[in-house]
Protein backbone atom coordinates (compact mmCIF):
# COMPACT_ATOMS: atom_id res chain seq x y z
CA UNK A 1 0.00 0.00 0.00
CA UNK A 2 0.89 3.64 0.04
CA UNK A 3 3.03 3.86 -2.97
CA UNK A 4 2.55 5.07 -6.43
CA UNK A 5 4.61 4.62 -9.47
CA UNK A 6 6.27 7.64 -10.88
CA UNK A 7 7.01 6.50 -14.37
CA UNK A 8 8.50 8.80 -16.87
CA UNK A 9 9.22 7.32 -20.24
CA UNK A 10 12.27 9.33 -20.95
CA UNK A 11 13.92 7.85 -17.89
CA UNK A 12 13.05 4.37 -19.05
CA UNK A 13 12.68 3.43 -15.43
CA UNK A 14 10.15 3.58 -12.72
CA UNK A 15 10.85 5.39 -9.52
CA UNK A 16 9.08 4.13 -6.46
CA UNK A 17 9.49 7.05 -4.22
CA UNK A 18 6.24 8.03 -2.68
CA UNK A 19 5.90 9.18 -0.04
CA UNK A 20 9.50 10.21 0.25
CA UNK A 21 9.76 12.03 3.54
CA UNK A 22 8.04 12.10 6.86
CA UNK A 23 8.82 15.83 6.98
CA UNK A 24 6.63 16.73 4.03
CA UNK A 25 2.88 16.62 4.33
CA UNK A 26 -0.13 17.87 2.48
CA UNK A 27 -2.64 20.12 4.20
CA UNK A 28 -5.13 18.28 6.34
CA UNK A 29 -7.84 20.12 4.44
CA UNK A 30 -6.81 18.29 1.36
CA UNK A 31 -6.99 14.93 3.07
CA UNK A 32 -10.46 15.78 4.34
CA UNK A 33 -11.61 16.66 0.86
CA UNK A 34 -10.18 13.43 -0.41
CA UNK A 35 -12.23 11.40 2.04
CA UNK A 36 -15.34 13.43 1.39
CA UNK A 37 -14.92 12.79 -2.29
CA UNK A 38 -14.26 16.35 -3.33
CA UNK A 39 -11.29 16.14 -5.59
CA UNK A 40 -9.46 18.74 -7.56
CA UNK A 41 -8.72 20.98 -4.61
CA UNK A 42 -5.41 22.72 -5.14
CA UNK A 43 -2.98 22.49 -2.28
CA UNK A 44 0.48 23.60 -1.34
CA UNK A 45 3.46 21.42 -0.75
CA UNK A 46 4.46 21.66 2.86
CA UNK A 47 7.84 20.50 3.99
CA UNK A 48 9.04 21.58 7.38
CA UNK A 49 12.48 22.91 8.21
CA UNK A 50 13.92 19.47 8.95
CA UNK A 51 13.32 18.39 5.36
CA UNK A 52 15.72 21.07 4.11
CA UNK A 53 18.32 20.61 6.80
CA UNK A 54 18.41 16.81 6.67
CA UNK A 55 20.87 15.34 4.23
CA UNK A 56 19.37 13.32 1.38
CA UNK A 57 16.01 14.80 2.34
CA UNK A 58 14.51 12.05 4.49
CA UNK A 59 15.48 9.33 2.02
CA UNK A 60 18.33 6.81 2.37
CA UNK A 61 20.42 8.40 -0.37
CA UNK A 62 20.36 10.72 -3.37
CA UNK A 63 17.44 9.55 -5.47
CA UNK A 64 18.65 10.57 -8.92
CA UNK A 65 22.14 11.45 -10.10
CA UNK A 66 22.79 12.52 -13.65
CA UNK A 67 26.15 12.54 -15.33
CA UNK A 68 26.17 15.17 -18.03
CA UNK A 69 29.12 15.96 -20.28
CA UNK A 70 30.76 19.23 -19.41
CA UNK A 71 29.62 21.80 -21.95
CA UNK A 72 32.63 23.71 -23.17
CA UNK A 73 32.89 26.36 -25.81
CA UNK A 74 36.28 27.88 -26.61
CA UNK A 75 37.87 25.93 -23.79
CA UNK A 76 36.91 22.62 -25.34
CA UNK A 77 40.40 22.16 -26.74
CA UNK A 78 42.87 23.50 -24.22
CA UNK A 79 46.12 24.82 -25.52
CA UNK A 80 49.33 22.94 -24.95
CA UNK A 81 50.30 25.69 -22.53
CA UNK A 82 47.30 25.08 -20.33
CA UNK A 83 47.95 21.37 -20.37
CA UNK A 84 51.51 21.69 -19.28
CA UNK A 85 50.60 24.43 -16.85
CA UNK A 86 48.24 22.35 -14.90
CA UNK A 87 47.53 18.95 -16.28
CA UNK A 88 45.47 17.93 -13.25
CA UNK A 89 42.96 20.71 -13.56
CA UNK A 90 42.36 20.27 -17.29
CA UNK A 91 41.79 16.57 -16.79
CA UNK A 92 39.30 17.41 -14.10
CA UNK A 93 37.49 19.69 -16.54
CA UNK A 94 37.02 16.85 -19.02
CA UNK A 95 35.05 14.82 -16.50
CA UNK A 96 31.29 14.78 -16.79
CA UNK A 97 29.43 16.90 -14.29
CA UNK A 98 27.36 15.05 -11.74
CA UNK A 99 24.01 16.58 -10.92
CA UNK A 100 22.31 15.10 -7.87
CA UNK A 101 18.67 15.33 -6.89
CA UNK A 102 17.07 14.42 -3.61
CA UNK A 103 13.69 12.72 -3.43
CA UNK A 104 12.08 16.08 -2.74
CA UNK A 105 13.73 17.67 -5.77
CA UNK A 106 12.37 14.89 -7.96
CA UNK A 107 8.84 15.18 -6.63
CA UNK A 108 8.71 18.99 -6.72
CA UNK A 109 9.92 19.19 -10.31
CA UNK A 110 13.41 20.62 -9.71
CA UNK A 111 14.95 17.66 -11.52
CA UNK A 112 12.97 18.20 -14.70
CA UNK A 113 13.50 21.96 -14.66
CA UNK A 114 17.25 21.46 -14.35
CA UNK A 115 17.62 18.96 -17.15
CA UNK A 116 15.70 21.01 -19.71
CA UNK A 117 18.92 21.63 -21.61
CA UNK A 118 19.50 17.93 -22.01
CA UNK A 119 16.00 16.61 -22.38
CA UNK A 120 13.50 18.02 -24.88
CA UNK A 121 10.77 16.14 -23.03
CA UNK A 122 11.26 18.06 -19.79
CA UNK A 123 8.39 20.47 -20.34
CA UNK A 124 5.98 17.62 -20.91
CA UNK A 125 7.31 15.88 -17.81
CA UNK A 126 6.77 18.96 -15.66
CA UNK A 127 3.24 19.12 -16.99
CA UNK A 128 2.65 15.43 -16.21
CA UNK A 129 4.10 15.83 -12.74
CA UNK A 130 1.80 18.76 -11.99
CA UNK A 131 -1.30 17.21 -13.52
CA UNK A 132 -1.07 13.57 -12.54
CA UNK A 133 0.93 13.67 -9.33
CA UNK A 134 0.85 17.00 -7.56
CA UNK A 135 -2.78 17.56 -8.60
CA UNK A 136 -3.93 14.04 -7.84
CA UNK A 137 -5.11 13.19 -4.33
CA UNK A 138 -4.00 9.56 -4.56
CA UNK A 139 -0.72 9.75 -6.42
CA UNK A 140 0.35 13.04 -4.94
CA UNK A 141 3.76 12.44 -3.40
CA UNK A 142 2.78 14.42 -0.34
CA UNK A 143 -0.65 12.93 0.31
CA UNK A 144 -2.35 11.28 2.10
CA UNK A 145 -0.08 10.31 4.92
CA UNK A 146 -2.47 10.83 7.80
CA UNK A 147 -4.13 7.82 9.35
CA UNK A 148 -7.32 7.15 7.40
CA UNK A 149 -10.38 7.93 9.56
CA UNK A 150 -11.56 4.33 9.79
CA UNK A 151 -11.91 2.00 12.75
CA UNK A 152 -9.27 -0.60 12.02
CA UNK A 153 -6.07 -0.01 10.09
CA UNK A 154 -3.82 -2.97 9.34
CA UNK A 155 -0.74 -2.08 7.37
CA UNK A 156 1.05 -5.20 6.10
CA UNK A 157 4.29 -5.31 4.12
CA UNK A 158 7.47 -7.24 3.51
CA UNK A 159 10.88 -6.04 4.67
CA UNK A 160 14.58 -6.80 4.45
CA UNK A 161 14.90 -7.59 0.77
CA UNK A 162 17.39 -5.84 -1.49
CA UNK A 163 15.51 -2.81 -2.82
CA UNK A 164 16.35 -0.02 -5.28
CA UNK A 165 16.58 3.43 -3.70
CA UNK A 166 18.60 5.49 -6.18
CA UNK A 167 19.54 5.76 -9.84
CA UNK A 168 22.33 7.18 -11.95
CA UNK A 169 21.47 8.33 -15.44
CA UNK A 170 23.49 9.63 -18.35
CA UNK A 171 22.43 10.98 -21.72
CA UNK A 172 22.85 8.26 -24.33
CA UNK A 173 23.18 10.54 -27.34
CA UNK A 174 20.21 8.80 -28.97
CA UNK A 175 16.91 10.53 -29.66
CA UNK A 176 13.91 10.36 -27.36
CA UNK A 177 12.70 7.97 -25.90
CA UNK A 178 16.11 6.31 -25.63
CA UNK A 179 17.91 9.49 -24.68
CA UNK A 180 18.79 8.37 -21.14
CA UNK A 181 20.57 5.26 -20.00
CA UNK A 182 20.79 3.97 -16.45
CA UNK A 183 24.45 3.84 -15.54
CA UNK A 184 24.08 2.65 -11.96
CA UNK A 185 21.47 1.55 -9.44
CA UNK A 186 21.70 2.03 -5.68
CA UNK A 187 20.21 -0.63 -3.43
CA UNK A 188 19.40 -0.65 0.25
CA UNK A 189 20.07 -3.96 1.96
CA UNK A 190 21.13 -5.19 5.40
CA UNK A 191 21.65 -1.72 6.85
CA UNK A 192 23.85 -0.61 4.01
CA UNK A 193 23.71 1.02 0.62
CA UNK A 194 25.24 -0.82 -2.32
CA UNK A 195 25.64 0.10 -5.95
CA UNK A 196 25.40 -2.22 -8.91
CA UNK A 197 28.80 -1.07 -10.10
CA UNK A 198 30.46 -1.65 -6.74
CA UNK A 199 31.09 2.01 -6.00
CA UNK A 200 30.70 3.03 -2.41
CA UNK A 201 27.57 5.05 -1.73
CA UNK A 202 27.02 7.73 0.85
CA UNK A 203 23.70 8.04 2.59
CA UNK A 204 21.70 7.04 5.62
CA UNK A 205 20.64 3.42 5.28
CA UNK A 206 17.68 2.41 7.42
CA UNK A 207 17.73 -0.49 9.86
CA UNK A 208 15.49 -2.39 7.47
CA UNK A 209 15.17 -2.47 3.72
CA UNK A 210 12.11 -2.73 1.49
CA UNK A 211 10.15 -5.56 -0.10
CA UNK A 212 12.24 -5.85 -3.26
CA UNK A 213 10.16 -3.25 -5.08
CA UNK A 214 9.16 -0.50 -2.67
CA UNK A 215 11.70 1.03 -0.30
CA UNK A 216 11.37 0.71 3.47
CA UNK A 217 10.94 4.48 3.90
CA UNK A 218 7.79 4.38 1.78
CA UNK A 219 6.38 1.13 3.13
CA UNK A 220 6.88 2.00 6.76
CA UNK A 221 5.28 5.43 6.58
CA UNK A 222 2.17 4.03 8.31
CA UNK A 223 4.24 3.35 11.45
CA UNK A 224 3.72 7.06 12.10
CA UNK A 225 0.02 6.34 12.60
CA UNK A 226 0.75 4.37 15.75
CA UNK A 227 0.07 6.21 18.98
CA UNK A 228 2.40 7.16 21.85
CA UNK A 229 2.41 3.59 23.24
CA UNK A 230 2.88 0.53 21.08
CA UNK A 231 2.92 -3.19 21.83
CA UNK A 232 5.56 -4.92 19.73
CA UNK A 233 5.73 -8.68 19.21
CA UNK A 234 8.13 -10.66 17.07
CA UNK A 235 7.22 -14.28 16.27
CA UNK A 236 8.35 -16.80 13.67
CA UNK A 237 6.17 -16.84 10.54
CA UNK A 238 5.92 -20.63 10.65
CA UNK A 239 3.82 -22.55 13.15
CA UNK A 240 5.43 -22.18 16.55
CA UNK A 241 4.92 -23.06 20.19
CA UNK A 242 5.78 -19.59 21.50
CA UNK A 243 9.27 -20.42 22.76
CA UNK A 244 10.83 -18.00 20.24
CA UNK A 245 8.47 -15.11 20.97
CA UNK A 246 9.72 -11.62 21.81
CA UNK A 247 7.41 -8.98 23.20
CA UNK A 248 7.81 -5.36 24.29
CA UNK A 249 4.71 -3.92 25.87
CA UNK A 250 3.80 -0.23 25.78
CA UNK A 251 6.95 0.88 24.00
CA UNK A 252 7.17 4.66 23.93
CA UNK A 253 6.72 6.12 20.50
CA UNK A 254 7.29 9.82 19.94
CA UNK A 255 5.31 10.95 16.98
CA UNK A 256 7.49 11.43 13.93
CA UNK A 257 10.32 9.41 15.40
CA UNK A 258 11.57 6.03 14.35
CA UNK A 259 10.09 3.02 16.11
CA UNK A 260 12.58 0.23 15.82
CA UNK A 261 12.22 -2.85 18.03
CA UNK A 262 15.15 -3.86 20.19
CA UNK A 263 14.70 -7.52 19.24
CA UNK A 264 16.79 -10.27 17.74
CA UNK A 265 16.51 -12.73 14.88
CA UNK A 266 17.75 -16.30 14.95
CA UNK A 267 19.54 -17.24 11.73
CA UNK A 268 17.42 -18.81 8.97
CA UNK A 269 14.15 -17.97 10.70
CA UNK A 270 11.71 -15.62 9.02
CA UNK A 271 9.80 -13.50 11.48
CA UNK A 272 6.70 -11.40 11.54
CA UNK A 273 6.89 -8.29 13.71
CA UNK A 274 3.58 -6.85 14.89
CA UNK A 275 3.26 -3.23 16.06
CA UNK A 276 -0.10 -2.74 17.72
CA UNK A 277 -1.97 0.18 19.23
CA UNK A 278 -5.53 -0.19 20.53
CA UNK A 279 -5.38 2.72 22.94
CA UNK A 280 -4.52 6.06 21.38
CA UNK A 281 -7.90 6.48 19.65
CA UNK A 282 -10.70 5.01 21.80
CA UNK A 283 -12.40 2.11 20.05
CA UNK A 284 -10.05 2.25 17.09
CA UNK A 285 -7.05 0.07 16.35
CA UNK A 286 -3.88 0.52 14.35
CA UNK A 287 -1.56 -2.36 13.52
CA UNK A 288 1.56 -2.68 11.38
CA UNK A 289 2.84 -6.12 10.41
CA UNK A 290 6.34 -6.41 9.01
CA UNK A 291 7.14 -9.72 7.36
CA UNK A 292 10.79 -10.66 6.87
CA UNK A 293 11.66 -11.33 3.23
CA UNK A 294 8.05 -11.19 2.04
CA UNK A 295 8.12 -10.18 -1.59
CA UNK A 296 6.09 -7.28 -2.92
CA UNK A 297 4.28 -9.32 -5.55
CA UNK A 298 3.50 -12.40 -3.50
CA UNK A 299 2.66 -11.03 -0.10
CA UNK A 300 -1.13 -11.21 -0.41
CA UNK A 301 -0.95 -14.88 -1.35
CA UNK A 302 1.46 -15.90 1.39
CA UNK A 303 0.04 -18.58 3.69
CA UNK A 304 1.29 -16.72 6.76
CA UNK A 305 -0.59 -13.55 5.75
CA UNK A 306 -3.77 -15.49 5.02
CA UNK A 307 -3.49 -17.32 8.33
CA UNK A 308 -2.91 -14.14 10.33
CA UNK A 309 -5.74 -12.26 8.64
CA UNK A 310 -8.09 -15.20 9.09
CA UNK A 311 -7.23 -15.55 12.80
CA UNK A 312 -7.55 -11.82 13.38
CA UNK A 313 -10.98 -11.73 11.74
CA UNK A 314 -12.12 -14.84 13.56
CA UNK A 315 -10.96 -13.31 16.83
CA UNK A 316 -12.58 -9.92 16.12
CA UNK A 317 -15.95 -11.46 15.30
CA UNK A 318 -16.02 -13.87 18.21
CA UNK A 319 -18.36 -12.81 21.04
CA UNK A 320 -15.99 -14.19 23.70
CA UNK A 321 -12.76 -12.64 22.50
CA UNK A 322 -11.00 -11.01 25.45
CA UNK A 323 -7.98 -9.19 24.02
CA UNK A 324 -7.86 -6.29 21.57
CA UNK A 325 -5.83 -8.24 19.02
CA UNK A 326 -5.50 -11.96 18.45
CA UNK A 327 -2.89 -13.49 20.75
CA UNK A 328 0.56 -14.12 19.33
CA UNK A 329 1.54 -16.63 22.00
CA UNK A 330 1.13 -19.71 19.86
CA UNK A 331 0.49 -20.66 16.26
CA UNK A 332 -0.67 -24.22 15.88
CA UNK A 333 -1.86 -26.04 12.81
CA UNK A 334 -5.24 -24.93 11.51
CA UNK A 335 -5.48 -27.09 8.40
CA UNK A 336 -4.47 -30.69 7.62
CA UNK A 337 -1.64 -29.28 5.48
CA UNK A 338 -0.17 -27.59 8.55
CA UNK A 339 0.43 -30.96 10.26
CA UNK A 340 3.76 -32.52 9.44
CA UNK A 341 6.03 -35.36 10.52
CA UNK A 342 8.62 -34.58 13.17
CA UNK A 343 11.55 -36.80 12.19
CA UNK A 344 13.55 -36.12 15.34
CA UNK A 345 10.72 -37.31 17.56
CA UNK A 346 9.37 -39.91 15.10
CA UNK A 347 5.80 -38.71 15.42
CA UNK A 348 3.53 -36.02 14.07
CA UNK A 349 4.51 -32.55 15.21
CA UNK A 350 2.08 -30.70 17.49
CA UNK A 351 0.70 -33.96 18.96
CA UNK A 352 -1.96 -32.00 20.79
CA UNK A 353 -3.54 -31.06 17.47
CA UNK A 354 -2.20 -33.47 14.88
CA UNK A 355 -2.35 -37.25 14.77
CA UNK A 356 -1.13 -39.97 12.48
CA UNK A 357 -4.11 -41.03 10.37
CA UNK A 358 -3.16 -42.87 7.22
CA UNK A 359 -5.47 -42.51 4.25
CA UNK A 360 -5.13 -44.45 1.01
CA UNK A 361 -3.11 -42.32 -1.39
CA UNK A 362 -0.74 -40.79 1.16
CA UNK A 363 2.75 -40.93 -0.26
CA UNK A 364 4.78 -39.73 2.70
CA UNK A 365 4.57 -39.58 6.48
CA UNK A 366 3.73 -35.88 6.62
CA UNK A 367 0.64 -36.39 4.51
CA UNK A 368 -0.72 -38.85 7.03
CA UNK A 369 -0.42 -36.34 9.83
CA UNK A 370 -3.87 -34.82 10.07
CA UNK A 371 -5.71 -32.48 12.39
CA UNK A 372 -7.44 -34.17 15.27
CA UNK A 373 -11.14 -33.84 15.22
CA UNK A 374 -11.55 -31.04 17.72
CA UNK A 375 -11.52 -27.69 16.01
CA UNK A 376 -13.25 -26.03 18.96
CA UNK A 377 -10.29 -26.73 21.18
CA UNK A 378 -7.98 -25.72 18.38
CA UNK A 379 -9.41 -22.24 18.05
CA UNK A 380 -10.33 -21.56 21.67
CA UNK A 381 -6.77 -20.57 22.50
CA UNK A 382 -6.82 -17.69 20.02
CA UNK A 383 -9.59 -15.79 21.77
C1 LIG B 1 46.29 22.63 -10.52
O2 LIG B 1 44.91 22.33 -10.28
C3 LIG B 1 44.65 21.77 -9.03
C4 LIG B 1 43.18 21.39 -8.95
O5 LIG B 1 42.35 22.37 -9.46
C6 LIG B 1 45.04 22.76 -7.94
O7 LIG B 1 44.81 22.17 -6.64
C8 LIG B 1 46.49 23.10 -8.10
O9 LIG B 1 46.85 24.11 -7.16
C10 LIG B 1 46.82 23.63 -9.53
N11 LIG B 1 48.23 23.79 -9.70
C12 LIG B 1 48.73 24.84 -10.31
C13 LIG B 1 50.21 24.85 -10.45
O14 LIG B 1 48.05 25.75 -10.74
C1 LIG C 1 18.92 0.75 14.42
O2 LIG C 1 18.85 -0.10 15.52
C3 LIG C 1 19.73 0.21 16.57
C4 LIG C 1 19.60 -0.81 17.68
O5 LIG C 1 18.86 -1.90 17.32
C6 LIG C 1 19.43 1.60 17.12
O7 LIG C 1 20.36 1.94 18.11
C8 LIG C 1 19.50 2.60 15.98
O9 LIG C 1 19.09 3.86 16.43
C10 LIG C 1 18.63 2.18 14.84
N11 LIG C 1 18.81 3.08 13.73
C12 LIG C 1 17.79 3.54 13.02
C13 LIG C 1 18.17 4.44 11.88
O14 LIG C 1 16.64 3.26 13.24
C1 LIG D 1 13.84 4.50 8.92
O2 LIG D 1 12.47 4.18 8.87
C3 LIG D 1 11.72 4.76 9.91
C4 LIG D 1 10.34 4.19 9.92
O5 LIG D 1 9.57 4.65 8.88
C6 LIG D 1 11.76 6.27 9.78
O7 LIG D 1 11.03 6.87 10.82
C8 LIG D 1 13.19 6.73 9.84
O9 LIG D 1 13.27 8.09 9.62
C10 LIG D 1 14.04 6.01 8.81
N11 LIG D 1 15.42 6.33 9.05
C12 LIG D 1 16.21 6.81 8.09
C13 LIG D 1 17.62 7.05 8.48
O14 LIG D 1 15.81 7.01 6.96
C1 LIG E 1 18.06 -3.89 24.08
O2 LIG E 1 17.83 -5.05 24.85
C3 LIG E 1 18.96 -5.50 25.56
C4 LIG E 1 18.63 -6.79 26.27
O5 LIG E 1 17.34 -7.23 26.02
C6 LIG E 1 19.38 -4.43 26.57
O7 LIG E 1 20.54 -4.85 27.25
C8 LIG E 1 19.68 -3.14 25.82
O9 LIG E 1 19.97 -2.12 26.73
C10 LIG E 1 18.49 -2.73 24.98
N11 LIG E 1 18.84 -1.58 24.18
C12 LIG E 1 18.05 -0.52 24.05
C13 LIG E 1 18.55 0.57 23.17
O14 LIG E 1 16.96 -0.44 24.60
C1 LIG F 1 -0.83 -3.64 25.05
O2 LIG F 1 -1.34 -4.87 25.49
C3 LIG F 1 -1.98 -4.81 26.75
C4 LIG F 1 -2.38 -6.22 27.12
O5 LIG F 1 -3.10 -6.83 26.12
C6 LIG F 1 -3.19 -3.89 26.65
O7 LIG F 1 -3.80 -3.76 27.90
C8 LIG F 1 -2.73 -2.53 26.19
O9 LIG F 1 -3.85 -1.70 25.98
C10 LIG F 1 -1.94 -2.63 24.90
N11 LIG F 1 -1.37 -1.36 24.57
C12 LIG F 1 -1.70 -0.69 23.46
C13 LIG F 1 -0.98 0.58 23.20
O14 LIG F 1 -2.54 -1.08 22.65
C1 LIG G 1 -14.93 -36.22 13.12
O2 LIG G 1 -16.23 -35.76 13.54
C3 LIG G 1 -17.27 -36.09 12.63
C4 LIG G 1 -18.57 -35.48 13.14
O5 LIG G 1 -18.37 -34.65 14.24
C6 LIG G 1 -17.38 -37.60 12.50
O7 LIG G 1 -18.39 -37.93 11.57
C8 LIG G 1 -16.06 -38.19 12.05
O9 LIG G 1 -16.13 -39.61 12.03
C10 LIG G 1 -14.94 -37.75 12.99
N11 LIG G 1 -13.67 -38.23 12.48
C12 LIG G 1 -12.71 -38.75 13.26
C13 LIG G 1 -11.47 -39.19 12.54
O14 LIG G 1 -12.81 -38.84 14.45
**Residues 62-72: tens digit of each pLDDT:** 988 988 876 54
User: What backbone phi and psi angles, to 5 degrees, belong to 237?
Assistant: -70, -35
Q: Which of 23, 58, 211, 217 to mutate to test the pocket of ligand 3 (most atoms within 8 A of CB)?
A: 217
Predicted pLDDT at 5: 33
Ligand 2 center from residue 206 Cα (angstroms): 8
Q: Which of 32-41, 81-90, 206-215 has the lowest mean pLDDT?
A: 81-90
- Ligand having the closest approach to the CA of 321: 5
Q: Among the atoms of ligand 2, which is closest to the Cα of residue 204? A: 13
Query: Across the chain, what does the average pLDDT equal?
Result: 81
Higher pLDDT, 333 or 12: 333
Ligand 5 site, residue 276, Cβ cutoff 6 A = yes
pLDDT exceeds 70 at position 214: yes
Q: What is the DSSP letter of 313?
A: H
Nearest CA to ligand 2 atom 4: 262
pLDDT exceeds 80 at position 373: no
Predicted pLDDT at 357: 92
* pLDDT band at residue 87 under the 50/70/90 scheme: very low
* pLDDT band at residue 174 under the 50/70/90 scheme: confident
Long-range contacts of 315-319 (CB under 8 A, 24+ apart): 315/382, 315/383, 316/152, 318/383
Predicted pLDDT at 241: 86
Q: Which of 86, 90, 93, 95 to mutate to test the pocket of ligand 1 (most atoms within 8 A of CB)?
A: 86
* pLDDT band at residue 146 under the 50/70/90 scheme: confident
User: Residue 201 and residue 167: Cα distance in Å, rounded?
Assistant: 11
Ligand 5 center from residue 227 Cα (angstroms): 12
Predicted pLDDT at 89: 47
Percent of the chain beyond pLDDT 90? 40
Neighbours of 120 (CB within 10 A): 12
- What number is the average pLDDT over the span 203-223? 91
Predicted pLDDT at 130: 82
pLDDT exceeds 60 at position 2: no
* Whole-prediction pTM: 0.80
Pocket lining for ligand 1, CB < 6 angstroms: 86, 88-89
Predicted pLDDT at 266: 96
Q: Among the atoms of ligand 1, which is closest to the Cα of residue 87? A: 1
52 Cβ contact partners less than 8 Å away, ≥ 6 residues apart: none
Predicted pLDDT at 208: 94
- Ligand having the closest approach to the CA of 357: 6
Predicted pLDDT at 233: 98
Neighbours of 48 (CB within 10 A): 13
Q: Among the atoms of ligand 2, which is closest to the Cα of residue 261? A: 5
Q: Does an H or E element contain 125, and which?
A: helix 122-128
pLDDT exceeds 50 at position 315: yes
- What number is the average pLDDT over the span 294-322? 92
Ligand 3 center from residue 250 Cα (angstroms): 20
User: Residue 102 and residue 113: Cα distance in Å, rounded?
Assistant: 14
Predicted pLDDT at 137: 65
Ligand 5 center from residue 215 Cα (angstroms): 30
User: Residue 59 and residue 186: Cα distance in Å, rounded?
Assistant: 12
Q: Are 245 and 176 in contact (CB under 8 A)?
A: no
Predicted pLDDT at 10: 36
pLDDT exceeds 70 at position 299: yes
Percent of the chain beyond pLDDT 70? 79
> pLDDT by residue (tens digit) across 25-51?
765 554 555 555 554 444 556 788 888
Predicted pLDDT at 3: 29
Predicted pLDDT at 138: 65
> pLDDT by residue (tens digit) across 93-107?
556 788 999 888 888
- Name the nearest CA neighbour of 167 among 111, 122, 242, 94: 111
Q: Does an H or E element contain 28, and which?
A: helix 28-35
User: Residue 271 and residue 245: Cα distance in Å, rounded?
Assistant: 10
In the chain, where the domains are located? 5-151+164-208, 332-383
3-state secondary structure of 236: strand
- Ligand having the closest approach to the CA of 226: 5
Pocket lining for ligand 2, CB < 6 angstroms: 206-207, 258, 260, 262
User: Residue 328 and residue 216: Cα distance in Å, rounded?
Assistant: 24
**Looking at the chain, which runs of residues are DSSP E strands?**
5-8, 13-16, 24-25, 46-47, 64-68, 97-101, 152-159, 163-171, 180-189, 192-195, 229-236, 246-252, 271-277, 285-292, 341-342, 347-348, 354-356, 369-371
Ligand 5 site, residue 153, Cβ cutoff 6 A = no
pLDDT exceeds 50 at position 133: yes
Q: Are 156 and 235 in contact (CB under 8 A)?
A: no
β partners of residue 152? 285
pLDDT exceeds 60 at position 81: no
Predicted pLDDT at 94: 59
- Ligand having the closest approach to the CA of 191: 2
- What number is the average pLDDT over the span 117-142? 77
Amino acid sequence: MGTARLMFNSFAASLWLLPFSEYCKADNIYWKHFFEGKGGYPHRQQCDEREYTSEYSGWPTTLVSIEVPTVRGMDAYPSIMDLTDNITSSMECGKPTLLSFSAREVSDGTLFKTIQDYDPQSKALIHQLEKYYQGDPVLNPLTPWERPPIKNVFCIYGIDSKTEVGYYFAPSGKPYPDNWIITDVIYEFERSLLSRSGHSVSGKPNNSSGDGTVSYNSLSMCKHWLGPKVNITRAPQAEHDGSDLQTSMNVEHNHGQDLFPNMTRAPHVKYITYFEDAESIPGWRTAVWELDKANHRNIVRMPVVMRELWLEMWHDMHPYSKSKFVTKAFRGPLRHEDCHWDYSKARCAFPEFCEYRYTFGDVHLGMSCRLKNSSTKLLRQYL
